[in-house]
Amino acid sequence: MQYDFMKNYSDNSIAFFDFDGTLTSKDTLIELLKFARGKTRFYAGLVVLSPMLAAFKARLISNQRAKEIMLSFYLKGMPAEEFESICKDFAATHLPSLFRKPALTELRRHLQNDTQVVIVSASPENWILPWCQQFNIKCIATKLKVRDGKITGKISGRNCQGNEKVKHILKKYNLSHYTKIYAYGDTPDDLPMLSLATESFYKPFKEQLI
């Protein structure tokens, strides 16, 4: 669908935005891990994790399993309070540079036109939610398990990806209440979410950053 940046929106509408790759130019999980552990340690870890990454690319293990292995490797045992502090710092200092300018322009236009905006992401909510709260934006995202006050590296429930995005959306929202439903995504995993929309946009934003 051709994208129209000058479009006006109904106030009885809702817009669902994928986060990584749609609003941002990079995978924010990777950027968060670099921020939390330092680039040297992060890239050294990729060497250790290379068999897992190869298995994931060959589709021998699921996205959720691969994500949990990576999260466990870098974060397991970190106090949850420390992790939350790192995520808030990342959201405030590093996340803004990762956003695509046209994507933020579109998101802000929705907000100005009283469209309810919801971020729906497979990345953990820990650094997305602090950003969303600044603008009264709702957030549906993957949740991490915490045990005894520490990060376990495991995901609570299912990774918020593909059909799981649809399940979460339908659990929280009665879409029959909205005259317009917008959805934005950039990968095949976003297609189930886009199928819910009255107007969907696949890879709509250019590689321009703020």
Q: What is the CATH number of the domain that holds 100?
A: 3.40.50.1000
Judge whether 127 and 27 are in contact, CB under 8 Å. no
- Token pair for 152: 């376990």
pLDDT tens-digit profile of 38-58?
999 999 999 999 999 999 999
**Residue 178 falls within a domain, yes or no?**
yes
**Residue 60 falls within a domain, yes or no?**
yes
What does the pLDDT average to over 177-200? 97
Q: Whole domain around residue 133: which residue ranges?
A: 13-202
**Residue 3 falls within a domain, yes or no?**
no
- Counting the structural domains of the chain, the total is 1
- Report which DSSP code applies to 179: S
pLDDT tens-digit profile of 123-152?
999 999 999 999 889 999 999 999 999 999
**Residue 63 falls within a domain, yes or no?**
yes
Phi and psi at 188, nearest 5°, equal: -55, -30
**Residue 162 falls within a domain, yes or no?**
yes
String of b and e for 13-38 (b: at least 16 CB within 10 Å)? bbbbbbbbbbbbbeebbebbbbbbbe
State pTM to two decimals.
0.90
* Per-residue model confidence (pLDDT) at position 206: 67
**Residue 8 falls within a domain, yes or no?**
no
Element housing 184 (H / E)? strand 180-185
pLDDT tens-digit profile of 64-100?
999 999 999 999 999 999 999 999 999 999 999 999 9
